[in-house]
Amino acid sequence: MSQRSNGKYVPLVAVAVLGAVALGFWSPCLFFGRVPATVEHQSWMVPWRGAQPPEIVGRQWDPLLWDSVAQFYPWRVLLRRGLREGELPLWSPYQYCGYPLVGNGQSGVFYPLNWLLLILPTAKFLGISLALHLFIAGLLTFYFCRLLRLSVLPALFAALAFSYGGFMITWALLPTLVASAVWLPGALAGIELTQRRRRCWGTVLLAISLGLTLLAGHMQVAAYVWMVAGVYALGRLLYNLWRKEAVTWWPVLAGAGLGLMLGMAQVLPTVELGVNSPRGSQVPTEQGWQFQQHRFLRLFELITLVSPDALGTPASSSLEDQYWGTKFGIVYSEHCGFAGVVTLLLALIAVVYRRDRISWAFACAALVVLSVIMGGPLARMLYFWVPKVGVMGSFTRLLFVYIFLVAVLGALGLDHLMSRTCATSRLGRAASYLLGIGFAVVLLAELLPWAWRFVPMQPAGDLYRQTELTRQIQKRCDPTEGRVLAITPRRAWSLLRTPPAVLPPNSATVYGYLSPQGYDSLSIDDYYKFAAKLEHEPPAPVENGNMMLLENYASPLLCDVAVKWIVSREPLRGDDLKLLWQGEGAYLYRAQCASRFRVRNLAGKAIEPSAVNTGLNYVEVQLPPVNGGTLLVADTWYPGWRCFVDGRPAGPGRCGVFRRLELTGGAQSVFMAYYPTTVVCGLFLSLLVIGLLAAVITGYWTVTRKN
């Protein structure tokens, strides 16, 4: 076999290395029943802690990493439940008295890789999904570096640095950020292909990458991917003009347009919920800019680029090693830009010794991104001039772009060293390969032990494990009758220590009961105002504006949300409360409230429905014999709900925040279905693009094969 023939298989070895690292690092989750989540913090919460909290917890409280348990696991449980029942969970009846789950982009309802939940248990899926996404991130980075004409080992080096750098590891427990960020190198590779006379494949790869970053669901990270891709495309086109080469701009525009249409299934419902959420009215202000300045990376924090735990880490149980920013409300993940000391050294070599345009371009881009992360003038321009980007979250999440740029720079530096070492002799080539392998091994020795320490991989069986309280709730609390209010005092929620919560807000999704509370970055604004009226103050804790906790159990408005059961750590007083069960540090009461579904005849008398059948996206009510009246449903009203009375369309009524439907004489059944126009239009555009891309790929492959 010739040397050229052997060379064709070298990239396959690099792919095998990326796969082996992914399998090895995530093996506890893939093979040994572990889950990437901070499960141990549940042991401080009722009912898992019992009457007393545990004495020892292995990690410090990190409110951001807690979201792996409090948000992402329940969302994936609901998605799996819907997929296995043949019903995409567009609507969640479990939280906030019902809200559009599909509008929460992080639910990832339309993200294809999340559909593995159809065949995988949720806890197993979380580990497999992370391993798969980091492998994809490495693969796309490797391919992009190869397009830049880097040799195999430097390209592999960049792939490892980006995949296991600070952003991917510290955000691994919040998988939508990772899932959105991994498509950045794919988008840049697509743009590069369009400029190398491979316009068809470049357009397809660009469209798929830009579309999937939107479908993955984290709109802030997706916006950054789109912005970086736009800047790279503009720079690439200007470079071609400067060299007086052919400028091919239409494949880039076509890829961007197709990518936007591909992501419309998620974009349209997210925009709709965003407009109807408390965030919909947020605009950039000087006060908001001052708040942003507290989140920027500070000058002294640059030491974490070479030593990520120099200012402490939440992975330690020792308070002496506590992350410095915790007391200021800054989380470790937001400021971790570690990519390895060896990567920075090689990047410096690329700038100093290569001295070519590509090295300088990537170095300048990395410095510009770092200046934004540190609050430079460009950050202010982005905050005030780019719509909604400034109110999505901290600009420090641009660290994934910085790490990617530094990883490519490191690969350029390694490629320079290897080219200087390589000679025409066999010995020189061997020395060059050994140099590349040595640097890759040093990089892994830097990144993997730190990453292994940071990522919690804990027993999956402890995650939302069944207790006697949860069994009592599932046994006694019928979702068709009413909701369960678990009281956690808002003032007990802290950024500094594990709060003594009672059934965290999204526990209802896991166990299948209904709750008037919830925890999501987007909720319905009208319901938030109703909850504030019920509580006589904002329902969100000061430390977490995305959480809604209700504790005013004496409010008459609880009947409007059909709260029939209350769980509390303390005994409650009230003539209308009946103690049903006590144990595990909790009390379960039944309240005298109206049912979730109630019919009033023309005389105003309340009548129970004959039967109720509910699903994720529909409600079916069999009516008792009434000669006209009103059906009241204690579920939130939201655009997209359609009503049918005896099979005939009826206008969905509204009673404040909730639903109301006027009944005519002789009506026997009411069917309500969540069928939003935004989802229908978005799916139509996405499926249209999928069909078009499939036709282009098939046709191009057929023509190429014939030729």
Domains of the chain and any CATH numbers: 3-23+66-459 (no CATH), 468-591 (no CATH), 597-675 (2.60.40)
- pLDDT, tens digit, for every residue of 288-320? 888 888 889 999 999 999 999 988 888 877 766
For the chain, give the percent of residues with pLDDT over 90.
Answer: 58
Average pLDDT on 415-434 reads: 78
- Sequence letter at residue 302: L
- Is 436's pLDDT higher than 50? yes
Residue 8's pLDDT is: 61
Task: Look up tokens 């036709």; give the residue.
Answer: 695
Q: How confident is the model at residue 420 (pLDDT cuts 50, 70, 90)?
A: confident
Cα–Cα distance measured from residue 129 to residue 454, given in angstroms and rounded to the nearest whole number: 18
Cα–Cα distance measured from residue 651 to residue 637, given in angstroms and rounded to the nearest whole number: 12
Residue 1's pLDDT is: 31
Residue 53's pLDDT is: 65
Least confident of 80-94, 383-397, 539-553, 557-571: 383-397
Q: Residue 257: name the closest of 276, 237, 277, 229 by CA.
A: 229
Residue 6's pLDDT is: 42
Cα–Cα distance measured from residue 657 to residue 159, given in angstroms and rounded to the nearest whole number: 50
Cα–Cα distance measured from residue 704 to residue 707, given in angstroms and rounded to the nearest whole number: 5
Exposure class string for 529-543: b at 16+ Cβ within 10 A, else e = ebbeebbeeebbbee
H-helix segments, 148-307:
152-163, 166-170, 175-181, 184-194, 199-216, 219-242, 250-262, 264-275, 286-293
What is the SS3 assignment for 607? strand
- Is 7's pLDDT higher than 60? no
Peptide bond into 47 cis (omega under 30): yes
Cα–Cα distance measured from residue 422 to residue 698, given in angstroms and rounded to the nearest whole number: 41
- Is 57's pLDDT higher than 70? no
- Is 30's pLDDT higher than 70? yes
Q: Find the helix packing angle between 219-242 and 399-421, rounded to 10°.
A: 40
Residue 282's pLDDT is: 74
Q: How confident is the model at residue 4 (pLDDT cuts 50, 70, 90)?
A: very low
In terms of C-beta density within 10 A (0-12 exposed, 13-18 middle, 19 or more buried), how is residue 420 classed?
exposed
Residue 431's pLDDT is: 84
Residue 425's pLDDT is: 62
Cα–Cα distance measured from residue 321 to residue 313, given in angstroms and rounded to the nearest whole number: 6
- Sequence letter at residue 596: R
Q: Six-digit token pair at 681?
A: 């239009």
Cα–Cα distance measured from residue 543 to residue 457, given in angstroms and rounded to the nearest whole number: 26
Residue 466's pLDDT is: 93
Cα–Cα distance measured from residue 370 to residue 201, given in angstroms and rounded to the nearest whole number: 32
- pLDDT, tens digit, for every residue of 257-289? 999 999 999 999 999 998 898 887 777 888 888
How large is the C-alpha radius of gyration of the chain? Answer: 27
In terms of C-beta density within 10 A (0-12 exposed, 13-18 middle, 19 or more buried), how is residue 297 classed?
buried
- Phi, psi angles (nearest 5°) of residue 555: -70, 135
Least confident of 79-93, 337-351, 639-653: 639-653
- pLDDT, tens digit, for every residue of 353-366? 888 889 999 999 99
CA torsion sign for 611, 614, 618, 619 is: positive
Write down the pTM of the prediction. Answer: 0.93
Q: Beta strands 618-622 and 611-614: pairing type? A: antiparallel
Exposure class string for 76-102: b at 16+ Cβ within 10 A, else e = bbbbbbbbeeeebbbbbbbbbbbbbbb
- pLDDT, tens digit, for every residue of 578-623? 999 999 889 999 998 888 888 887 767 778 888 888 889 999 988 8
In terms of C-beta density within 10 A (0-12 exposed, 13-18 middle, 19 or more buried), how is residue 620 classed?
middle
Q: Which long-range contacts (CB under 8 A, 24 or more apart) does 20-25 make?
A: 21/138, 21/160, 21/163, 21/164, 21/444, 21/448, 22/131, 22/132, 22/134, 22/135, 22/138, 22/163, 23/131, 25/131, 25/134, 25/164, 25/448, 25/451, 25/452
Report the chain's terminal Cα–Cα distance, integer Å.
Answer: 26
Average pLDDT on 322-332 reads: 80
Average pLDDT on 684-693 reads: 93
- Residue 242, Cβ neighbours under 10 Å: how many? 9
- pLDDT, tens digit, for every residue of 218-246? 999 999 999 999 999 999 888 888 877 77
